[in-house]
A and B are shown apart, each in its own frame.
Chain A
Amino acid sequence: MSNIIAEILLVTGVAFDLLGAIGLVRLPDVYNRLQAATKCVTLGTCFILFGACFHFGITAGGIKALICAAFILLTSPTGAHALARGSHKAGIKLWEGSVVDKYHEDTNM
């Protein structure tokens, strides 16, 4: 039973990782790429680590996989936020099809 759950989690995680990488290549500007890739790849890698935890059970390996998943969940959104803020302050333009830029409106009142 535990092996079946681990297999399902691993398949889901690998599929999310691949979809995030495809979004990184296909989308038009840096903000869209950041939005697609960060969320998909964070969820996919967390699913892979949960699958490893189910595969190992309550051992040292399983606990290490859980710690690594918690760390990824904490740091990946923080890094993405810093990157989006940094690229906006560096003056990188939005895609011409974008309709709203709230950060620009808020900082240039």
Chain B
Amino acid sequence: MTGYIIVLLLASFLCLYRIALGPTPADRTVSIDILGTIIVGFCAFMSIITGRGYYLNIAIAWALISFVGTIALAKFLEGRGFDE
């Protein structure tokens, strides 16, 4: 199980590399979206390792908040207001 956690951490650090060096704001936004999805998988792993169910509640809440944030950033990137 520890090997899986290390591989997921490596994937998260690759996303952080793209957030730090992305040439355009769109690259950074894509990386933030992907990092949120990886963190949902990370929460599922933590619930398997510890055997406790409440990490899956965190995963559902994280997926919801990440989706709202992605849509808001996409509309901001497009140059529209939030009420259109």
Contact = CB atoms under 8 A, between A and B. Distances in A.
| A, B: real partners | yes
Interface of A: 10-11, 13-14, 17-18, 20-22, 24-25, 30, 33-34, 37-38, 41-42, 44-45, 48-49, 51-52, 55-56, 59-61, 64-65, 67-68, 71-72, 75-76, 78-80, 82-83, 85-87, 89-90, 92
Contacts of B18: 24-25, 33
B64 A71 contact: yes
B47 to A, nearest CB: 6
Given A14-B8, A18-B7, A83-B33, 17 more contacts: A17-B8, A18-B11, A21-B11, A24-B30, A38-B34, A44-B41, A49-B40, A52-B45, A64-B53, A68-B59, A71-B64, A80-B33, A82-B70, A83-B77, A85-B78, A86-B76, A90-B78
Q: How large is the interface on B (under 10, 10 to 19, 20 to 34, 35 or more residues)?
A: 35 or more
By DSSP majority rule, is chain B's interface helix, strand, loop, or mixed?
helix
A55 B24 contact: no
B56 A64 contact: yes
A68 B55 CA distance: 11
